[in-house]
Chains A and B, each alone.
Chain A
Amino acid sequence: MKKTKIIKVDYLARVEGEGSLYLKIEDKKLIDVKLKIFEPPRFFEAFLRDRDYTEAPDITARICGICPVAYQMSAVHAMENAFGVKVTGPLRDLRRLIYCGEWIESHILHAFMLHAPDFLGYQDAIQIAKDHKELIENVLRFKKTGNEIVALLGGREIHPINVKVGGFYKVPRKEDFKSLRENLKWARDFAVEAVRFVAKLPFPDFERDYEFVALQHPDEYPFNEGRVVSNKGLNIDVSQYDDHFEELHVKHSNALHSVLKERDSYFVGPMARYSLNHAQLPKIARELAKEVGLGKTCTNPFKSIIIRCIESLFAIDEALRIIENYEMPDQPAVTVEPRAATGYACTEAPRGILYHRYQMDEEGIIQDAKIVPPTSQNQKTIENDLWAFVPEHMDQADDKLQWQCEQAIRNYDPCISCATHFLKMDVDRG
């Protein structure tokens, strides 16, 4: 008689949103992996139709409470691409700055509140706080500097409302950055400590040959602009995205699985960004990476927690650089004239590239919208990681195996509220 084992997690904790995992093991052989994610952003794509192009940044910002800036940035850049508008100088810098704020908030929240408990053997961050009060207080203070940036430029911390196609409704004066600058200096020191702390965590020995996909820009670590490139030869303009990527329906999940048409699954997010753009990191980040033993590329997804902290350090450093050089622009936005056109944009959300495409009529009314969040792009790669990881760890007790599977999923910081809602896990061993 076959011995079947099923591991089921009906409700995956510590991922942004909810989803479920189902593993089926028969006679010590893994025979099924299903990461189920429900409710893709199709509602928003439909909701955007027949609305004015100016509404897209604020509507799409509502898709996710963790990365509203990413949605706003992809929306404004896609619209500007459609209408032939170029935003440069201080306005462009301010957009990079607000993105720094979101990376700081999102990365530190995931690294310490959601992912670190897996490595440290705590049930959750509340248990860490009981044993390491000062660490968690510092993490919260660090995150607050990110909030402060988003609030200063976005008008408020959650669902920022100050971003518009062409620029901002209002821009800060140079003196508005005064207290932020001091807080960022403290945060830079803490980011260094955070990198050293997470680099000492115990990492499973696990590497795969991924196709990393990220933006790449000749002069900077990418946020809003660049070509879409990979380590396996992809190098395209964002407008060619649909020629190279497709979203496939899979039976077990309502979210779509993204694949590269000419190959297969691919990897987006901090580890892809880092591996493709290491040379663009500031010296302090490169040196620290080297100090903690991280190479110029990384293929162990469990180490993404280190990269999130490295990227946080980059974001702090970049924010300081922008603030130092900032001169208030004469106008908070450039003029935008709508026309019948299609616009494309990818920007680097904390979790990876976020693709928006909009088609407008001559009045600037949205006729069609397409949104591909990073989590749906990573979903197939997460399943493939589990296909590789579970057979090597098959002999462990169910609860240990389940723990490590959840940890493997969290390597991707899946924002299931963007890709969906309600994730529920199964290991089936009969």
Chain B
Amino acid sequence: MDSEKIIVIGIGNEFRGDDAAGLLVVRRLKKKQPAGVELQEQSGEAIALMEAMDGANAVILVDAVQSGAEAGQIHRYDASEQAMPAQFLRCSTHNFSVHDAIEMARALEKLPSRLMVYGIEGLHFEHGSELTSAVQTAVVVAAQRIEEELENLIRMNTDA
């Protein structure tokens, strides 16, 4: 395992309204391109996601979710500490889902030592729908929070 490697992976489908949230967060981060951080966009196909995480020390995943909470709410899970709730992240179009990717990686002992999952609660996931304005705001807020988290991770790496 590359002890330095930090990856942020945005997951989503830009043709499906709020499902784009994860991608948009990563695109915001790209403008600043934090040093030593790899930024990736993914469709949510689970095995590709497992492969993307493989070998990294710390991974931050950002995806749109539909858990019944208010649109725009930002959930944060420390997936390295606890199993993901099964119903979380299920709005992925691919049903060997993001949740399954994380739990499969855990079963195969391939989970990065730190794995944070940000879920942005979405409302509209139909093809061609617009981004909900609360989600638009949440994208900006989530990008900021992730930036702060990255600073901490980089500091931890430097200290180590």
**Which residues of A are interface residues toward B (Cβ below 8 A)?**
11, 13-18, 39, 41, 43-44, 46-47, 62, 65-66, 105, 109, 113-114, 124-126, 129-130, 133, 136-137, 140, 143-144, 147, 157-159, 417, 421-422
Contact = CB atoms under 8 A, between A and B. Distances in A.
B108 A129 contact: yes
B93 A417 contact: yes
B107 A159 contact: no
B153 interface: no
B95 A126 contact: no
B77 to A, nearest CB: 17
A46 B103 CA distance: 38
Contacts of A46: 128
Nearest to B101: A126
Contact of B96 (A14, A43, A130, A422): A14
Interface string B13-51: 101100000000000000000000000001111111011
A125 B42 CA distance: 21
A157 B48 contact: yes
The 3 closest A-B pairs by CB, nearest first: A43-B127, A65-B43, A129-B107
Contacts of A13: 95
B126 interface: yes
B136 to A, nearest CB: 21
A18 B103 contact: no
Secondary structure at the B interface, as helix, strand, loop or mixed, is loop
Interface residues of B, number: 26
Interface string B135-157: 00000000000000000000000
Contacts of B126: 39, 43, 421
A114 B107 contact: no
Residue from the set B16, B44, B94, B128 with the largest chain A CB neighbour count within 10 Å: B94
Contacts of A109: 47, 96
A130 B108 CA distance: 7
B125 interface: yes
A151 to B, nearest CB: 10
Given A47-B128, A113-B96, A144-B51, A125 B104 contact: yes
Nearest to B96: A113
Contacts of B108: 129, 133, 136-137, 140
Contacts of A126: 100, 103-104, 107
Given A16-B93, A137-B108, A43 B128 contact: yes
Contacts of B51: 144, 147
Contacts of A147: 48, 51
Contact of B107 (A47, A130, A421): A130
25 contacts: A14-B96, A17-B93, A17-B94, A18-B93, A47-B128, A62-B13, A65-B45, A65-B94, A66-B45, A66-B94, A109-B47, A114-B96, A124-B100, A125-B100, A133-B107, A133-B108, A136-B104, A147-B48, A157-B48, A158-B42, A158-B45, A158-B48, A417-B94, A421-B93, A421-B125
Nearest to A18: B95
Contacts of A130: 107
A39 B13 CA distance: 15
Nearest to A124: B100
A76 B139 CA distance: 36
Given A133-B108, A136-B107, 11 more contacts: A43-B126, A43-B128, A44-B127, A65-B44, A109-B47, A124-B100, A126-B100, A129-B108, A133-B107, A140-B50, A421-B127
